[in-house]
Amino acid sequence: MMTTEIYVLAGFLGSGKTTLLKQLLTEEKKQNRKVAVMMNELGKVSIDSDAVEDDVPLKELLDGCICCSIQDQLEAQLQGLLSLEKPDVIYIEATGAAHPVEVLDDVLSPLFADKIHVKGIISVVDGERWLNRKSLSPQVQQLLIEQVRHADLILLNKTDVLNEEEQARLSMEIQSLNGQAFTLLTTYSKVPIQYVRKLSGGKKHSQISSHVTTDLKLSTFVYKFENSVDQNEFENFLRNLPDTIYRIKGYIKFTFSTYPFLFQFSYGMPIYLQENMNMPLNLVFIGEKVDWQLIYDKLKQLENRNS
């Protein structure tokens, strides 16, 4: 099945995300790839959409942040883009106030999780702002840290206004927070597109189980059920999950029911909602340092017992 690559552009307000997006769009165009963009602005009027040329499908989510108030809108728009435009790649520019785990959570809808491959989170850091972050509120400081900690590729941007000593300090601080991500010093977010394209992201889906290994960072995994499972056994599986799994959601069919349940799991609390029609039986996981192979094997076992 053809999957659409998804990249999330994260980073605090004014760090250089739109500048990065413009370049990536130019590069993608040169390579004849079909690109779509989703932008999310705080406030009703979009100021950045001029960055995207008219022939690139663009969906804007106004008046709210992806991670809090407009989840359903994001889901519907992504689904629309995937089914109508079928792009090779979608760039999602998250608002500067977004937490990466929540952005991933919103992007990975179980309705189409098997049709997308989240290749990575690219965080743009405003170097000067980072070095002076102690003057920001504790919440904003924490957000800056989270945007670095969960990134797959980090651009240390606006280095033109930093001296060498500051650049070295910036690199060291960022790498000590996230030594796994590839980190580049940039001006005007200039990054060779190969660095972006070679991100491999989390795990695509259960079919590629042979590639599934422990991810050291935040990653995602999609399990596609073919059968129903026993509810008690599934709940037993949940009880034994590592607590670095932050979120599970999706559709699951139990042996006693004709139609699936919408299942939501966060902070250890499961919630089930009965559906009254068939749904794609995708179960989406988001976690950190998780052995997805083990999770895959356990779910497969549950399924096989009832096949």
Ligand X SMILES: Nc1nc2c(ncn2[C@@H]2O[C@H](COP(=O)(O)OP(=O)(O)OP(=O)(O)O)[C@@H](O)[C@H]2O)c(=O)[nH]1
Kindly state whether residue 48 participates in binding ligand X, applying the rule CB under 6 A: yes
Q: Among 11, 64, 250, 260, which residue interacts with ligand X (rule: CB under 6 A)?
A: 11
Among 4, 6, 7, 19, binds ligand X (CB under 6 A): 19
> In the complex with ligand X, which residue's Cβ is closer, 5 or 126?
126
> With binding defined as CB under 6 A, does residue 99 bind ligand X?
no
Binds ligand X by CB under 6 A, chosen from 115, 117, 119, 158: 158
Of 73, 109, 123, 157, the residue at the interface with ligand X (CB under 6 A) is 157
Residues in 217-236 at the binding interface with ligand X, rule: CB under 6 A: none
Q: Does 100 bind ligand X (CB under 6 A)?
A: no
Helix orientation angle between 164-177 and 138-149, rounded to the nearest 10 degrees: 80
Is 42 one of the binding residues for ligand X (CB under 6 A)? no
14 binds ligand X (CB under 6 A): yes
16 binds ligand X (CB under 6 A): yes
Q: Which stretch binds ligand X (CB under 6 A): 78-86, 132-140, 156-164, 248-256?
A: 156-164
* Binder of ligand X out of 71, 77, 141, 187 (CB under 6 A): 187
Taking the least distance from each CB to ligand X, the nearer of 94 and 212 is: 94
**Smallest distance from ligand X to CB 117, Å:** 24
* Torsion sign (Cα): 287, 291, 297, 298: negative
Buried-state track 119-148, b at ≥16 Cβ within 10 A, e below 16: bbbbbbbbbebbeebeeeeeebeebbebbb
Residue 4 in the binding site for ligand X (CB under 6 A): no
Among 5, 6, 15, 229, binds ligand X (CB under 6 A): 15
| Choices 12-20, 52-60, 258-266, 285-293 (CB under 6 A): range interacting with ligand X | 12-20
Q: Which residues in this chain contact ligand X in the complex, by CB under 6 A?
A: 11, 13-19, 48, 96, 157-158, 160-161, 187-189
